[in-house]
Every structure is written in C-alpha cells, then in structure tokens.
Amino acid sequence: MHTLSQGEVLFEAKYLRDLTASEYSQLLPLTLGGETSYMLTALRGRPEFARCFLAITEGRIVGWSLARWFKRFEDRPRNAHLSVFVAPEWRRRGLGRDLLAQAMAFCREHGLTPWVYGETPSQLKFYKACHAEDHISILPFQTS
C-alpha cells in the first residue's frame, strides 16, 4: 500500500479486490452511471487485474481512479482502461488530475498503454488537460 500526503488529502493505492467493505460502500455513490458504466461494472465485479487509487480526507473517500488490464503481467498485457471520478464538491482542486496521473504512472511502470474513454466535451477537455490526448478512445469500453 502506498500512501502520499498532499495537504488535506491522502492518496492510497490498492488492488480493487482488496477494498474493505467501508471503502466499497463509499465508492458506490461516488461512481456515477447506469448499467453501461465501465467504472461501476468494474467496482461491482472486482476483477482480478484492477488497481484503484483513492483520494481520502478525514476518513472519507472523495475521489478515485481505476486502472484495469486483462492478463497477468507475466503474460504481457498491452493495454489498460483508466477511469476517474471525483465528488462534485471536491472538483476543480486537481484531485482528478492527480488520481489519473497515479493510474497512468502505474501503467507505465508495468508496460501498459493507458486508455481513457471520452464521451462528453468536458471529459475530452479534462483528459487533454491531463496529457492523455494520445490515448483517448471515442468508443466506450466494453462492460461484459
């Protein structure tokens, strides 16, 4: 577990399967989307090859990002799907950018190409500001 302090927010990284019941229950309302939500599907399914990055303040998770890949590292996976969500009251403070940067750094450390899905103009603008413009998918990630 890696914890980094940045002012009033702590960042913690862990495998999705290692989430505590409390963390899981905090992430569910933070994860918008219906049945086609990639991030919500991953959270509910807790796939083996998924690492999450949590932003925590005063014991409460206020944002998180996800990196999901599809093979064991020994089997040389090539791509990872990244997602990020920050509670509305915590936006515009750089948390989303920090969380995405952590997920992207994890991908680089493991030789994965990070991909994000930009559906709306605001998402595209955000990902471009995070220097992910070379790895934006215009097609949604498959949830099944």
Quick: pLDDT tens for 24-59.
999 988 887 666 677 888 888 898 999 999 999 989
Domain span holding position 29? 2-137
State the pTM of this model.
Answer: 0.85
- Is residue 118 a part of any domain in this protein? yes
- Is residue 68 a part of any domain in this protein? yes
**CATH number of the domain residue 91 falls in:** 3.40.630.30
Report the number of distinct structural domains present in the chain: 1
Q: Bridge partners of 117?
A: 137
- Is residue 100 a part of any domain in this protein? yes
Highest mean pLDDT among 59-68, 69-78, 127-136: 59-68
Mean pLDDT (the chain, rounded) = 85
- Is residue 144 a part of any domain in this protein? no
**Confidence class for position 14, pLDDT limits 50, 70, 90:** very high
- Is residue 81 a part of any domain in this protein? yes
- Is residue 143 a part of any domain in this protein? no
- Is residue 142 a part of any domain in this protein? no
Among 22-31, 61-70, 103-112, 123-132, whose mean pLDDT is lowest? 123-132
